[in-house]
Chains A and B, each alone.
Chain A
Amino acid sequence: MTEIPEHLLKRAQAARDKAAAEAAPAEPAAAADAPASDSRIPAHLLERSRAAKAKTEGGAEPASGGGGLAVAEKVAAVVAAPAAGGGIPVGAGPGGHTQRLLTVVKSGSIQEVKAAPVDKVHTWPHLLAAEFVAALACTAFVFVFSVFVNAPLLQYANINKTPNPSKAPWYFLGLQELLTMFHPMIAGVTIPGVGLILLILSPYIDKNPSNKPEDRKFATSLMTIFLMFWAVLVIIGSFFRGPGFNFTLPWRDGIFFEL
């Protein structure tokens, strides 16, 4: 069963008590006073309207009954009627209720309630300006770098002349480095394949709902080890491998690396 909020229960109890108190005297005269006493309209306003009503009735008499007066009288009659009827209205439920509380529907179940307003800013200019500056800075960097550093263009490709060493593009040099340690299928397929699949599946493996760094020390450490592992392999493959893909020291033998 739905729990009924406490303030509604209190209100129902108060209404029940009031109805009981009104029923006890059962005096039409007392009932006539009731609307004024238990109304939520402040007393001074009621006083003012009563005075105004009296004044209209007094002042309208000499005017010998205009249309306005008829309306005013009718309204006055309607307003007076429930008071004259007094007591419990016909068709009321137990305890004098005219309404029943069927159920309480919590607001969250029928409408989307935003728990807390989100602090937002306009995309223009706050985000677009930053993006524009970033794009300009990036273009400037690539442009200036390209003015000073030329892309490599070596000799015409020759199938019969293998350069020593032959190196893959830098982002595959970690794999090439693994090739020196493992069978090609392990180094070139199994290890990178398993790594990539684990990386893809990480949101489904990592069930920890928190995104706070202090709650995810294990995930952070694991990822850092993973990234460092590849970074070290790429650096060794790029700078510490010379002819025959043998280990060299770049400051002793020079760099065997083209981007």
Chain B
Amino acid sequence: MAKILDENPRPTLKDRVTKVNGSVQGSQVWNSIFRPGSIFRKGYTDSPRNRSYVIMNSVLYHLHPVKVKRHAVKVSYTLCLGGLSFFLFILLTVTGIFLMFFYRPEATQAWNDINNLQTSVAFGLLVRNMHRWGAHLMVLSVFLHMARVFYHGAYKTPREFNWVIGMILLTLTLLLSFTGYLLPWDQLALWAVTVGTNMMGYTPVLGSQVRFVLLGGAEIGPETLLRWYVLHVLFFPFIIVIFMAIHFWRVRKDGGISGPL
């Protein structure tokens, strides 16, 4: 009896996990998801080859090369400002999508929706706070990123055009922040935007026409709210994502980040 038990021991939990793991990772579904050579398919042990595969066999390859210049990973050089701007954009997209579930861009509803979000939606106040502070932080980090790039002379050949794209991204960031400013439809939003757009009206030739189109009238009103909502949640994010893609692509094409000094 003891002998029989020894020959067919009950599988331990570890054996079962190994077996399930093996059958999952050997399945066609799993292998169709992860590319050959992916660390999710063949496991990861630290070796130069696997370090390359982590990038090469994942979507990160669109963003990063397998190897970068040693000085480029120094935090003291970039201060992570460009990467943090991109990360804040992602954070703002996530929190912004959450806010969209509770918000109607109508003058009669907008303020109440935000008020309800803050008082009766779980984590509503927290997410709105994160969206607002994150937005101010993004304006700041994009601005500091620009200063950092200037002081390192990183806009010089061959990176001239990427600097121009960066300036477009800075402008778009300001526009994203400014269009979002109106959406709570409180006194702060209304009058800050009024002051901001009044200046725009003085632009020669097209100033007042552009202002009229953007505001949906001669003065800020309910139409403005809808327009700026669409600009804020769809139009400018769409444009900025395109320019970000070009910006990141150019960083790699122009030979990685600049320097060392």
A contacts, CB < 8 Å to B: 118-128, 130-131, 134-135, 138-139, 142-143, 145-147, 149-159, 161-163, 166-172, 175-176, 179, 184-185, 187-189, 196, 199-200, 202-204, 206, 208-213, 216, 219-220, 223, 227, 258-259
From known contacts A155-B186, A185-B204, infer whether A166 and B192 are also in contact, taking CB-CB under 8 Å.
yes
Residues of chain B touching chain A, judged by Cβ–Cβ distance below 8 Å, are: 48, 51-52, 54-55, 60, 64-73, 75, 80, 83-84, 87-88, 91, 107, 111, 114-115, 118, 125-126, 128-134, 136-137, 139, 143, 147, 150-157, 159-160, 163-164, 167, 171, 174, 177-178, 181, 184-192, 194-196, 198-200, 202-204, 207, 219-221, 258-259, 261
Closest-CB distance, B104 to chain A (whole angstroms): 15
Out of A120, A131, A155, A216, which one reaches B153, CB within 8 Å? Answer: A216
Chain B's closest residue to A120 (CB) is B67
CB-contact partner of A159 in B71, B207, B219, under 8 A: B219
The contact of B87 among A138, A161, A220, A223, by CB within 8 Å, is A138
Using Cβ atoms and an 8 Å threshold, which residues of chain B touch A153? 111, 114-115, 118, 184, 186
Inside 8 A of A206's CB, which chain B residues have their CB?
155-156
B80 touches A124 (CB 8 A): no
CB contacts (< 8 Å) of B178 on chain A: these are 169, 172
Across the interface, name the chain A residue whose C-beta is closest to B160: A203
Q: Chain A residues with Cβ under 8 A from B203's Cβ?
A: 185, 188-189
The minimal Cβ–Cβ distance linking A211 to chain B, given in whole angstroms, is: 3
Besides A127-B73, A156-B186, A176-B195, 20 more A-B contacts (Cβ < 8 Å) are A120-B68, A122-B55, A123-B67, A130-B80, A139-B91, A149-B129, A152-B186, A153-B186, A156-B111, A159-B190, A163-B187, A168-B195, A168-B196, A169-B196, A170-B136, A176-B199, A189-B203, A213-B151, A220-B151, A223-B151
In the complex, are the beta carbons of A131 and B186 less than 8 A apart? no
Complex A-B, nearest 4 residue pairs according to Cβ-Cβ distance, in ascending order: A188-B199, A211-B153, A146-B129, A203-B160
Chain A CB within 10 A, most for which of B52, B164, B185: B164
| Chain A residues, Cβ within 8 Å of B154 | 211
Q: Tell me, in angstroms, the Cα distance from A153 to B157 when the chains sit together.
A: 47
Q: Please name all residues of chain A whose beta carbon is closer than 8 Å to the beta carbon of B91 when the two chains form the complex.
A: 138-139, 142
Q: Which residues of B contact A120 (CB under 8 A)?
A: 67-70
Bound CA–CA A212/B151 (angstroms): 9
Q: How far is the CB of A100 from chain B (nearest CB, A)?
A: 41
